[in-house]
Amino acid sequence: MKRLLNLLVLLALVPSLAALHARWRVERPGPVVLTLDGQAVREEARLRGLDLDELLDRYRDLGVRGLGVYELRTEDWVARGKALYAEGSLLRLIHPGGGFEPGWFYLSPRDPEGLEQIAQAWTLPQHRVAWLDRVWVGFPKDVLTMPLGPDRDFILERYRKGNYIVYRPYNDRLRSWPPPLPEPVQAVVFAGDEALGFPDRLEEMARLLKAPVGYVEAAEQKGVLQVALRHPTLRVFSLQAEWQLKLSPEAAAEKYLLAARERGHQILYFRPWPDPEKTERFIRRVVAGLAASGIAQGEPAPRALELPDYARLAWVGVLAGLGLLALAFPQPLGALLALGLLLGGFAYATAAAGPLLAALVFASLGFVQYRRGLSAWLAALGYALAGAAFLAALGSNTQTITGLVPFKGVMLTLAVPPLLVALAGLPKDRDLRGLIAEAWGHRVRLGELALALAALAALAVVLLRRGNTEWVPGLELQLRALLQDWMVRPRFKEIFGHAIAVLALSQPWPRWVHAGLLAFAALAEASILNTFSHYHSPLFVSLARTLNGAAAGLVLGFALAAGVWAVRRWWSR
């Protein structure tokens, strides 16, 4: 039966890998566009006493083709001398008989076109007053920060000069609809905390947009995801302004290069440093890094992916893996575990149950049979890679590879496989009651307690951190930076997990120590599936990360095994 199920796994790999060829063609890095924040560069020009167009031309010549152009607001008009703005109470004090209302706010544009634009900008009540050869339009609320529309002349001028225009409109519940959208614009990245049209007009907004919408992960803009799911999307990478300015130009550049190489980002959006020399160092490092990585600069295109129907044959492999998992346990426990995983996967992830089950099952298969020798490690690595192929074949689509719909069940992929391996390590020649009685009467030794506490602490760090920098030691951050300079950096969970697997399989440990080490080693296989569950990372990057981690873990594992062997030899003298 096991041979038949393994054969089904191998057969299911053929259509799965064939289907993933379509994803490989779509997700290759580039082209990307290095994009400068328009507000920040305008402020830089003002503070340095430079002409804005000349400064933008210089940045363009350095390799910064993209420009983020914000929608104009009332305060921008006032700052540029296009309008006067004052509170009604002040105007009433200056001109008591003019008809100005206290509590209202008045705007007086410089030309008739501006007056018409203001009159149509918002759904607010209006009150007009003519005074000193000017028309003042009053509103019952402060409109200084409210949007007025695009700066069309500036956008057209910069487009003619070769800039890639990223338009940044603001949302406001009181603005007139539909909002004015300029041309030419190559991408739209919403400014502020909300997508344009939030909360009630997101579907209409998606229909109005002619350019792709930029999706900034972790930006927490309300409504952006709903628009992006209905509209062609570009992945945007940007650091928060405060954080970027705390980094050296080289450190910031590495983050942008990593985003372009390994995470599928297409618009690299940044702000200049107060020191112009630092900004130029950053730009040169990014441009050189993109060229060294073979990533073209140009106009990015939205990615669309629809795998062929035969990709669903990966389900055959997943179900065969469930069968192998069931056979690794005494019956009926094995059948109940497999059924529980199947039903639980559908209950938790619904339509995305296939990728989740592939991760949970194939991260466990190599170790639940408790074979000794390095062949078990090779089998575990092979099963994990097969599961990764099934996961990618069942879960890859336009929404997942653009980061809009993440993999569901990341914590489960790290927690369930070690538990399954630990459960499989229980003695099979005793019933549950006998095991409980033996465990209850066991005299705990200090060494056993120390090992158990160390294992629990390590497992807690893995589950709680999951790659977040808040939990990463400084030494590990330095090692990450060093590895990223010359290779696709493997995950440390995989390196240490593989090393523990080699240590467990190459030494004559007692059964309980062997079981505990293998349960911890299963984290490496779980991390492999977790790596491939990041659909926005190109497949070849995930594969390189996995193989690098396996190679590094194998070397470290042999070193640990040699150390243990030397200690045992010394102890036995």
Domain boundary among 270, 292, 314: 292
The pTM score is 0.84
Q: Which residue has the tokens 């491939």?
A: 532
Considering the domain architecture, whether residues 287 and 365 belong to the same structural domain is answered as: no
CB-CB neighbours of 537 under 10 Å: 20
Identify whether 187 is part of a domain: yes
Query: What is the model's pLDDT at position 566?
Result: 81
**Residue 11 and residue 317: Cα distance in Å, rounded?**
8
Considering the domain architecture, whether residues 179 and 161 belong to the same structural domain is answered as: yes
Domain boundary among 244, 267, 292: 292
| Number of separate domains in the chain | 3
Higher pLDDT: 380 or 436? It is 380
Q: Which of 137, 102, 103, 136 has the alpha carbon at shortest distance from 122? A: 137
- Write out pLDDT tens, residues 320-367: 999 999 999 888 889 999 999 999 999 999 989 999 999 999 999 989
Considering the domain architecture, whether residues 244 and 358 belong to the same structural domain is answered as: no
Length of the chain: 573
Considering the domain architecture, whether residues 85 and 67 belong to the same structural domain is answered as: no
Structure letter (DSSP) for residue 72: E
Identify whether 299 is part of a domain: no
Looking at the predicted structure, is the pLDDT value of residue 286 above 70?
yes
Mean pLDDT (the chain, rounded): 87
Structure tokens at 14: 């053929």
- Write out pLDDT tens, residues 381-423: 999 999 999 999 999 999 999 989 999 998 899 889 999 998 8
Chain-centroid distance, C-alpha 396: 15
**Residue 110 and residue 129: Cα distance in Å, rounded?**
15
Identify whether 457 is part of a domain: yes
Looking at the predicted structure, is the pLDDT value of residue 373 above 70?
yes
- Write out pLDDT tens, residues 186-241: 999 999 999 999 999 999 998 999 999 999 887 788 999 999 988 999 999 999 98
Looking at the predicted structure, is the pLDDT value of residue 430 above 60?
no
- Write out pLDDT tens, residues 301-327: 999 999 999 999 999 999 999 999 999
Query: What is the model's pLDDT at position 333?
Result: 87
Identify whether 164 is part of a domain: yes
Identify whether 504 is part of a domain: yes
Identify whether 159 is part of a domain: yes
Kindly report the backbone phi and psi dihedral angles of residue 543, in degrees, each rounded to the nearest multiple of 5, phi listed first.
-65, -45
Query: What is the model's pLDDT at position 30?
Result: 80
Percent pLDDT > 90 in the chain is: 62
Contact assessment for residue 257 and residue 288, using Cβ atoms and an 8 Å cutoff: no
CB-CB neighbours of 248 under 10 Å: 13
What would the mean pLDDT of 461-475 be, rounded to a whole number?
A: 49
Q: Residue 135 sits in which domain range? A: 75-139
